[in-house]
A and B are shown apart, each in its own frame.
Chain A
Amino acid sequence: MSASESYPDDLLYHPEHDWARIDGDEATLGVTWYAQDALGELVHYEAPDVGATVTKDASYGEVESVKAVSDLISPLSGEVLEVNQQVVDAPETVNEDPYGAGWLIRIRMTSPDERMELLSLDDYRKALEAG
């Protein structure tokens, strides 16, 4: 059961189809509706370890559908505080609710200014339209 297409306006976006929800010095990360739709039903989430370091624009994990593997690109740098175990156990949660129950990791940002480089909803939509 897939969610219908949406892009919330309270998120910051990365051109590799990842989103960040910033709360103080912490951020929650996930993939956008577009990413989950392109991959199809997810069947595996290779998550980073809690305490691991993630770097902006670098891979912090993988998601897989039956046919394809995709790197998860971090929109921000930081330290992993929490991994969404619900997605590890039931990866299709990302397809059902990519911005809610389907979040992937929570981090403590180490370079909060990096947020300035992320896309607003409008800019992400433009990037999507430009293909």
Chain B
Amino acid sequence: MVPFAGWEMPVQYEGVIPEHRAVRADAGVFDVSHMGELEVEGPTARDLLQATLSNDIDRLAPGEAQYTLVTNDAGGILDDVIVYRLDEHRYLIVANASNAAVVHDWLKEHELRGSDVRDVSEEYALLAVQGPRALERLGLAPAQAFTWVMDEIDGVEVMVNRTGYTGEEGVELACMVDDAVELWDAVLARGVVPCGLGARDTLRLEVCYPLHGNDIGPQWDAISSGLGWACALDTEFTGVETLRRVKADGPVQKLVPFVMTDKAIPRQGMAIQGGGEVTSGTMSPVLGLGIGLGYVPAATAKTGTELVIDVRGKPRHAQVSKKPLYAKERT
């Protein structure tokens, strides 16, 4: 167990590599109850979220979910979140644990007459069940990604969200905190493998999902971070002017995925020759290669460009790659 954003979290149960493989081949479960949940409610809830979140909230119907960013005045990323539209005037935001308070305070600051923001993190537990057999093992009907329904698993009432952070099909199950242990036991009884933070990190990195605090943050604008697709630049939100300008001029630096061509494992903080930095790195359990994300000057951000990474004093070669680094059809 390790301390993580004020929580005690397991890095691994059986081991990072077997857990990682279980999620790629079958199904694994992560206790992500540390994530923050905020409810935004009221007739002007939509206006508040449209003004503070990068994506277009009007594209979100009840029963749907959306990946979006909480941006600051410079277009930097305060957090990346998923917004679920619960009904006409009520939204649930799932934020990163360490940012829940920041997002809460930021929304509170921008609160409008007729919208109410509440931190409900203490009320919910969240289990992510991920993998090609996740839905089947839970007895859930297939559903489109980024949708949610209320359902029940072995007697526990759950909000079933077709979202995740592994690149696999799967769900994130929100339940009342008092039901969490019962739900966890029910999921394990269905043959799902318990997984820790370690596998969560290797899985998300193989599919190039950025981690806030490593790869994205307030110091980098969303366009440079490669998240322009989550920014509706035709809407008005905090920082949009900067983002429009960066988009028009082209970013100076870009976040890129890369694969090591030398035998070495990149790690967060390592320098990339020519002015760049590794923001996340690991050994891909499926590819058997060092992989990572990092910022490089735009001129060296093209797929196929060779990078040289300073691995504790030794120059090691890597190549800028396409997202995702791992895709089912390639293996």
* Chain A residues near B (Cβ < 8 Å): 40-41, 43-44, 46, 62, 64-67, 69, 88
Contacts and interface: CB of A to CB of B under 8 A. Distances in A.
Interface stretch (B52-60, B227-235, B262-270): B262-270
Contact of A44 (B198, B201, B263): B263
Interface residues of B, number: 17
Contact of A43 (B265, B267, B312): B265
Given A43-B283, A44-B283, A64-B283, A69 B16 contact: no
A84 to B, nearest CB: 15
B264 A66 contact: no
B163 interface: no
B282 A66 contact: yes
30 contacts: A40-B12, A40-B15, A40-B16, A41-B15, A41-B16, A43-B265, A43-B283, A44-B263, A44-B264, A44-B265, A44-B283, A44-B290, A46-B264, A62-B312, A64-B265, A64-B283, A65-B16, A66-B16, A66-B198, A66-B202, A66-B282, A66-B283, A66-B285, A67-B11, A67-B16, A67-B201, A67-B282, A69-B265, A69-B267, A69-B312
Interface of B: 11-12, 15-17, 198, 201-202, 263-265, 267, 282-283, 285, 290, 312
Contacts of B282: 66-67
Nearest to A91: B283
A88 B264 CA distance: 11
Nearest to B202: A66
Contacts, number: 36
A50 B178 CA distance: 60
Contacts of A40: 12, 15-16
A130 to B, nearest CB: 23
Given A40-B16, A64-B265, 19 more contacts: A40-B12, A40-B15, A41-B17, A43-B17, A43-B265, A43-B283, A43-B285, A44-B263, A44-B264, A44-B265, A44-B283, A64-B283, A65-B16, A66-B16, A66-B17, A66-B202, A67-B16, A67-B282, A69-B267
A76 to B, nearest CB: 23
A88 B263 CA distance: 9
A9 B312 CA distance: 35
Contacts of A67: 11, 16, 198, 201, 282
A64 B281 CA distance: 12
A40 B264 CA distance: 17
Contacts of A88: 263
A46 B316 CA distance: 12
A66 B12 CA distance: 11
Contacts of B11: 67
B15 to A, nearest CB: 6
A125 to B, nearest CB: 26
Q: Rank and list the top 4 A-B pairs by shortest CB-CB distance, nearest first.
A: A43-B283, A66-B16, A41-B17, A44-B265
**Most B CB within 10 A of own CB, among A40, A43, A46, A62:** A43
Nearest to A65: B16
Nearest to B263: A44
Contacts of B12: 40
A118 to B, nearest CB: 27
A67 B16 CA distance: 9
Contacts of A65: 16
